[in-house]
Amino acid sequence: MPSRGDTATPGRRAAAPAEGDRGDAAGPGRRTATRPGPFREDAPLPPDRETLDLGGGAGRDVAYVGDEPPGYDAEPTSLPMADPAALEDLVPDSVLDGARHGGLTLRAASVRGDSARYRGEVRRDALLTARFGVGDRALVLVAVATGARATPTGQRAATAACRWIAQAVGRSAARLAEDVREGRRADLRAGLQRLTDRSLGRLRATARVEGWSTGGDEATLRCLLLPADPDCRIRVFFGVGDGGLYRLRDGDWQDLEPRPAGPAAKPGELTLDLGITTPPSPYEPAPEPPREPFRFRTCVARPGDRLLMCAAGLSDPLGGEPALLAHLGRRWAAPEPPGLAGFLADVQVRVKGYADDRTAAAVWEA
């Protein structure tokens, strides 16, 4: 497995299952997710439900993987409830985007989960793709966010998180693109952490004013920065919150997700000798909920790589059902990336026990 530092080491394979990884919290048959192991050509694949050609890629489209089909319907059922005074909160069931710049091809999709479809709830995931600049100096941003569970405004918070990080990156795009091309990793980390903190701080302040959420985690946020310069092979991931970052290289899936250490204890929070939590003072305001640590990783792409970034709704079944990794490995083994419809079908391959929204962005390297 690649080291948990900031620069991926080529040729390393995925880790053993990580303790504490969670399964789906919304659908029946809840499972515990594990980190993916290496993909093998002889990995078993369940019988196909349907054979289709959906726009490129090797292998066949399947409706589900695993021992049995999920209990939910495979297609949308109820539409979310609409408020005439807040129609901006309505979002489509699925969104799809793609692009080709320099030596990379991008595919991105966000799909409402089976559970939300069944309950008539809005999709909580948000997806934003943007290009800043022109020609070889352009910088492509992919932002993925997930709103807080069990709140009617979770999607609003996720959409705001994507929009505000895009605004921040766009204003600094020229400097960021130069830092990427020159490999200034320390500058990138510091700058992107500052932009992320400001964007999420703005989100938390707005959430308190608007009453979007009663907790401290209004949204997770995960981003890719991709330079359009064909001579620059550096790919940058950054963000806050759960999800997955994987690379398919030479037939093996590699887990690139950074595992940041927990936030350091502040002076006075722990007793010196016994490690016992210090009780809060009655004269001080209650502390804010702990913040998710910043995640950052740079990696150097090789021709033929496939880089996948996703929210937790897809990373959980990827870790919990090896057949899903095997299926995607076969689908994406072809030299050409799938078309938009084919990528959407790949993202939607279902697994019993995992019913959350699925949002993913994948990069094919020429």
Q: Which pLDDT band, with edges at 50, 70 and 90, does 60 fall under? A: low
pTM score, whole prediction: 0.79
Whole-angstrom distance, CA of residue 175 vs CA of residue 168: 12
Q: Which pLDDT band, with edges at 50, 70 and 90, does 311 fall under? A: very high
The label of the residue with tokens 């800043």 reads: 132
Lowest mean pLDDT among 88-102, 203-217, 258-272: 258-272
Average model confidence (pLDDT) for the chain? 81
Predicted local distance difference test score (pLDDT) of residue 151: 72
Predicted local distance difference test score (pLDDT) of residue 86: 85
Predicted local distance difference test score (pLDDT) of residue 230: 94
Query: Which residues have CB under 8 Å from 201's CB, separation 6+?
Result: none
Burial of 266 (0-12, 13-18, 19+ CB in 10 A): exposed
Q: Is the pLDDT of residue 211 over 90?
A: no
Between 8 and 134, the more confident residue is: 134
User: What is the layout of strands, in order, in the sheet containing 94-101?
Assistant: 94-101, 104-111, 358-365, 306-311, 243-249, 252-255
What letter would DSSP give residue 89? Answer: G
Phi/psi of residue 28, nearest 5 degrees: -70, 160
Residue pair 223/45 in contact (Cβ under 8 Å)? The answer is no
Predicted local distance difference test score (pLDDT) of residue 149: 76
Domains of the chain, residue spans: 64-75+91-258+292-365
What value does the mean pLDDT take over residues 151-164?
89
pLDDT in tens, 1-30: 444 344 444 444 444 333 333 333 344 434
Please give the share of the chain, as a percent, with pLDDT higher than 70.
Answer: 73
Whole-angstrom distance, CA of residue 98 vs CA of residue 337: 11
Whole-angstrom distance, CA of residue 327 vs CA of residue 325: 5
Q: Which pLDDT band, with edges at 50, 70 and 90, does 137 fall under? A: very high
Q: Is the pLDDT of residue 221 over 90?
A: yes
Radius of gyration of the chain measured on its C-alpha atoms: 21
What value does the mean pLDDT take over residues 83-108?
93
pLDDT in tens, 328-353: 999 999 999 999 999 999 999 999 99
User: For the domain 64-75+91-258+292-365, what is the CATH code?
Assistant: 3.60.40.10
Residue pair 223/199 in contact (Cβ under 8 Å)? The answer is no
